[in-house]
Amino acid sequence: MPRRPVHPSVTSSSVSRPGPTAPSRERPTDTGRARSGPRRHRRRLPAALVATAALVTAVLVGATVEPATAATTDVRTATAAQLYGAGQYRSSTSEAAKAATALQTSDPAGARAAAAIARYPVATWLGEWTTGTTLTRTIDTATAGAAAAGTTAVFVVYAIPDRDCGGYSAGGFDERTYDAWIDQVVARVSGTRSAVVVEPDALAMLSNAACSDSIDAQRYRILSRTVAAFTAAGVPSYLDGGNSNWVSPATMAARLQSAGVANARGFSTNVANYHPTNQEQAYAQRVSALTGGAHYVIDTSRNGQGWRGTWCNAPGAGLGTTPRVGTDGTALDALLWVKTPGASDGTCNGGPTAGKWYSAYAQALVANGSLGATASGTAMGTVDWATGGSGSVRVSGWAADPARTTATLTVRVSVDGARAAPAAADRPRQDVADAYGVGAAHGYDVTVPASAGVREVCVDTTTVAGVASRLGCESVRVSGRDPVVALERATVSAGGISVSGYAVDADDPAAALRTTLLVDGKAVRTVSADVARTGVAALDGLGTRHGFAAVVPAGAGKHTVCARAADVGGGADVTAPCRSVTVAASAPRAALDSVTSPRHRRVALRGWGFDRDAVGAAVTVVVSVAGRSPVRVSASAVRDDVDRSYGVGRSHGLSTVVAASSGTRSVCVRVVGLGAGGDRSLGCRSVRVR
């Protein structure tokens, strides 16, 4: 859940960072894909949110502010109230505040949304874009503002070597430069009321195949030095602990211990992600218990609607609980806004480059926001996966009531808002028991009817106390009786147009569909859709050998290419949306493999040639020996290798013998074109004729 372009160089109080890449994340089970987290009760933001700043001061829930500074407090034993005072520091020059000003004339709705976000605190991100005087000014501005307000400036250091392991947010310093840079950060925050989130994703991403095996030791070494330095300076630091749906608590606890969590204040969770607060806290409590009671903070900036099926500019996401100091007696120090709401995660779901302001998304976050206190009575659970079949949808996940862990909850699946029959979440899920300590009998696996097309599938449940919770939603493609066919690619190649796609009929998932390829409305080739394909949502549950790939003939000019799949059940043939391709004029494609003299006064030539403008015809090859009258031969011999390489048919081989006088002779060859591209010379060869 993620990768990102390099962050822009900024001097403001916040820098965006997208969340990590979904397929690489380790989770309590081996499904290898992102899971939907529960969604808290949805509360749309009233207009008053935009109109008033009164809510800004409500960052504490029943907490008593204890005046203290980091310089006089042991950061490992202090109370959360001592460390955070009146809460997280809010900058008047945050990215949201800047966007609100910049968009006033061009995008009034976007400006209002940005202003609403700007009313709340957000962390200040530090990386290779903040060095030298920029680093000093950024830190000093935030710490001075926090001191004046009695709040705590929250920073994020994000410049570890090989950051993001080559993903969208790739970058960072080398180790020596990083250590020196951290020393500068420590020197500026020492003696101030500050807190630092240390290197989001750095530990969780050790599960990512993109990260080299050698990186583990280096990261443990760097992170241990970093948190020890902050602690020595009297500044609480939090190693990043991933999130509840990435790495198991036991694995994360082991990594945190290797990274020096015993010398830090604790760890952070859910940075730049969407998982519900109660689910994150259940995960964090498990990790805390395994790390000697380490404290933790949770990023709630965008989790108001829970997990939305993707980490990257997730559709339907909303602002989460506003920053506040923990008062529930657990190891929770604070709910913070670490990620900058409104800043893009990257070029996905319509977003601009990572870190750029995404106005439409900011407006959606505000509209979908749920800023109140955490609803501790909601259910926990996920939609692990949902797949469409022939007239049906199958959905699987888990649901549990944290207040009544032995109770069996009922889940309700809806398709495009229409509810199906309820089902019990009572299947064994040992991974859930291991991760959350709620017992194993909380899984569900339900199949419900659905009409053909792309459908939104949602799962809801209700706790024993009657609190409704949405576990998540997924978009799936449901097949009907007609086949599903897609022409995914059509590009110019040496032999014409290379095409590929897939075709499947849910009436007979094992069948390799006969697929007709058409050029300008004329059927030119029929192929069998039996090539292995993976990662195609339309093929979920129907097998993987439903792809096709071929070359279709096409001469110079603009062409329309289509694919039509033959139905094998009671439906009709289906033609995929067509693609337009322009083929440039070109000379024949040809090669002269050999020129030899096999016997007295004879020269043998072997090679091949074809013209893309007419691959169904044999090209003429003109052979001239020692400047004498040329001999014209047809390149029509069988050459299976040419067909395998170019998809133009077998009959394009050159195999001929011509007369020549004895001695050393020059043999010149030219291939006559059949279209507008002209001829192609294959040059001359010198051969000693017997």
Mean pLDDT of 596-623: 96
User: How far is residue 121's CA from residue 179's CA, in Å, rounded to a whole number?
Assistant: 28
Q: Identify the pLDDT of residue 164.
A: 74
Annotation marks residue 164 as catalytic: yes
Give the pLDDT band of residue 94 (cuts 50, 70, 90): very high
pLDDT at residue number 542: 76
33-60 pLDDT, tens per residue? 233 333 333 333 333 333 333 333 333 3
The least confident of 198-207, 388-397, 473-482 is 473-482
HSE-up (13 A, CA, CB side) for residue 278: 22
**Which listed residue (162, 201, 401, 431) is catalytic?**
201
pLDDT higher than 90, residue 556: yes
SS3 136: helix
Q: Would you state the pLDDT for residue 182? A: 97
Q: How confident is the model at residue 166 (pLDDT cuts 50, 70, 90)?
A: low
Q: 345 to each of 121, 370, 434, 492, 645, how far by Cα in Å?
A: 19, 21, 31, 34, 41
Active site residue 434: no
Bridge partners for 687 per DSSP: 665
Residue 65 above 50 pLDDT? no
User: H helices within 233-320, ranges in order?
Assistant: 249-258, 277-290
Q: What is the DSSP string of 162-223?
A: TBGGGSTT-B---HHHHHHHHHHHHHHHTTSSEEEEE-TTTTGGGG-TTS-TTHHHHHHHHH
**Cα–Cα distance for residue pair 278/295, rounded to 1 Å:** 16
Q: Find the helix or strand (DSSP H, E) in which 558 lies.
A: strand 557-565
Q: Hey, is 124 helix, strand or coil?
A: strand
Instruction: Return the H-helix or E-strand segment holding 663.
Output: strand 663-672
* Average pLDDT of span 514-520: 97
The mean pLDDT value for 503-516 works out to: 88
The gap between the terminal CA atoms of the chain, to the nearest Å, is: 71
Q: Distance (Å, rounded) from C-alpha 683 to C-alpha 607?
A: 13
**What is the per-residue pLDDT for 538?**
58
Residue 353 CB contacts under 8 Å (≥ 6 apart), including other chains: 5, 344, 346, 347
- Find, among 342, 325, 3, 385, the residue nearest to 151 by Cα: 325
CB 168 within 8 A of CB 16: no
> What are the beta bridge partners of residue 550?
499
**In 10 A of CB 492, how many CB atoms?**
16
The CA distance from 605 to 530, in Å, is 39
pTM: 0.57
Those residues whose C-beta lies under 8 Å from the C-beta of residue 442, and which sit 6 or more positions away, are 381, 398, 399, 400, 408, 409, 425, 426, 427, 429, 432
Please report, rounded to a whole number, the percentage of residues in the chain having pLDDT higher than 90: 62
Place of tokens 């060095």: 131
CB-CB contact of 345 with 357 (8 Å):
no
Cα dist. 283→42, 276, 400 in Å? 22, 11, 14
Whether 201 is catalytic is yes
Separation of alpha carbons 318 and 337, rounded Å = 13
Q: How confident is the model at residue 472 (pLDDT cuts 50, 70, 90)?
A: confident
Q: What secondary structure, in 3-state letters, does 147-172 show?
A: HHHCCEEEEEECCCCCEHHHCCCCEC
Give the model's pLDDT for residue 510.
86
In this structure, the number of other CB atoms found within 10 A of the CB of residue 522 comes to 6
Find the catalytic residue in 299, 333, 345, 384. Answer: 345
CA angle 129, 132, 136 (to 5 degrees): 95
Of 275-284, 372-381, 524-533, the least confident: 372-381
235/360 Cα distance (integer angstroms): 37
Check residue 167 and give its pLDDT.
66
What was the pLDDT predicted at 367?
Answer: 94
* Count of CB atoms situated within 10 Å of the CB of 86: 19
Question: Above 80 in pLDDT, residue 4?
Answer: no
pLDDT in tens, 318-368: 999 999 999 888 999 999 999 999 999 888 899 998 889 999 999 999 999
Instruction: Encode pLDDT of 172-184 as tens digits.
Output: 889 999 999 999 9
Distance (Å, whole) CA 52 – CA 116: 9
Q: What pLDDT does 172 receive?
A: 85
Per the prediction, the chain carries an average pLDDT of 85
Q: Rounded CA gap, 591 and 610, in Å?
A: 10
| Annotated active-site residue in 162, 164, 431, 482 | 164
pLDDT at 660: 95
Closest by CA to 503, choosing from 576, 577, 562, 450, is: 576
The residue-averaged pLDDT of 132-151 equals 95
Q: Is the per-residue pLDDT at 690 higher than 90?
A: yes
pLDDT, one tens digit per residue, over 397-436 is: 999 988 888 999 999 999 988 887 789 999 999 988 887 7
Is residue 623 within 8 Å of residue 671, measured between CB atoms? no
d(CA 328, CA 294): 15
**Average confidence (pLDDT) over 518-536:** 91
Q: What is the pLDDT of residues 247-304, one digit of tens each?
A: 889 899 999 999 999 999 999 999 999 988 988 998 999 999 999 999 999 999 999 8
